[in-house]
Structure 1
């Protein structure tokens, strides 16, 4: 009888302790869920300080020797022209020469191929310039059509614009976005009659660079505009705070 009573007492004590532990765990679980998540943003306009511009030229002849000789002559004309615009020889980077065998296809009346006639070799080469003198090279890219007057078939590509201090800019913007998110979190907590606790988690969003005043869409992986000299950088930071 005494043994049965002891067993009942032990079971009762175990139930009380289990209930207490469950209640405590439940309360702590709810407490850990008392958080707020906010997103802050940073935005900065800046001007590119590096430009990359390139163009290509080509020659065609029935023999490789003649085509190479004509291409060499055009290359020298381009070097002379660029030098006259203040471009140093070591700033001119010429690519390897590529060539194609060209054929003219003659078809039968039923649309099948009758024969292919060799029409010559086309040789192509490109030249590129990378410079921090953005305005100077930008103007050069517009004037390069002058080479056509000297008999050079020169095709100018649109300049590409970059910024060499992007790492420093990104750090500044992260700080700005974090501050913005913190201010938002404090405002939400105050309006809810709560106090902001410790920072539980922080995540950086995608870093985006678009042209100023453009309609470019942000992309999931981050956009990186190289067509515009004047750019806008955007970044977001997500903070999760404990609420007391």
Structure 2
């Protein structure tokens, strides 16, 4: 009898240890299983902005068989351009004249190959006008070509319309997209009788800056600078634990 009593205590301890182990294992398994149950949703946010900065670029040039005369022709075109811009309401600090480039143009033989004979010389100078008045730049882009009536050889590029606070807006719109993802996940969890747990992972998509009401999308992102009014769209893919 004494021997049986001596065995009873160790067996009781062993049984209790096994029971505790089973309980702990069950709790851990349940917790791990819960952690593995996640929901992945995509949130988005869009905001319309109006450009507050515009740039107009272009090139004037002089062309002549005589190198010196080609250069002089370009120099004569500069004050005509500046007077035109002044009449349009642009100040000197808004106008930038860039480096002058000169090069010869060679004659082409009947068979299409380039010869060593110089046909004429070209001297060109790029310019750019920057203004916060985007409508004024838009009007300028439509009238600059009229300089040809004054004998000026001018090439007009498409104006660029920019939003100066784009970096701040990118942060804000990504946060709005993340919030939208969480709201969607909460609705889905509630609809299935579950509750939303902590965020497990999140991936920010590229930001699309497109003309207003455009459906353009690119895997690398779009950064439109051709339109005054733009839509900025952000997408966030997020995974949440569900309880």
Do they fold alike, i.e. is TM over 0.5? yes
Alpha-carbon distance, 1:212 to partner = 0.9
Distance in 1 (CA, whole Å) between partners of 2:57 and 2:190 is: 57
Per the alignment, do residues 24 and 153 of structure 1 end up closer, same or farther by CA in structure 2, a change over 3 Å counting? same
Name the structure 1 match of 2:158. Answer: 158
What's the counterpart of residue 235 of structure 1?
Answer: 234
Q: How many residues align?
A: 233
Deviation at 1:117, TM superposition (A): 2.5
Q: Which residue of 1 aligns with 2:92?
A: 89
CA–CA distance in structure 2, aligned partners of residues 114 and 129 of structure 1: 37
Q: 1:146-171: per-residue Cα shift (whole Å, max 9, x none)?
A: 21111001111111110011123223
Contact 1:106 1:116 (C-alpha < 8 Å) held by counterparts: no
Deviations along 1:166-217, one digit per CA (max 9) or x if unpaired, are: 123223322321221121111111111111122222332211100112342x
Normalising by structure 1, report the TM-score: 0.84
Q: 1:148 to 1:28 in 2, by over 3 A?
A: same
Per mean C-alpha deviation after superposition, the further-off stretch among 62-71 and 50-59 is 62-71
1:130-149 maps to which residues of 2 (within 5 A)? 130-149=130-149
**Are the counterparts in 2 of residues 46 and 231 from structure 1 also a CA contact under 8 Å?**
yes
1:98 to 95, 101, 112: 101
Gaps of at least 5 residues in structure 1 are 1-11
1:203 paired residue number = 203
Deviation, 1:13, is 11
Task: Determine the C-alpha separation between the residues in 1 that align with 2:114 and 2:85.
Answer: 47
Q: How does 1:47-62 map to 2 (within 5 A)?
A: 47-62=50-65
* Secondary structure in structure 1 of the residue aligned to 2:194: coil
Shift of 1:19: 7.8
Structure 2 gaps, min length 5: 1-14
The verdict on how the C-alpha distance between 1:55 and 1:115 changes in structure 2, with shifts beyond 3 A counting, is closer
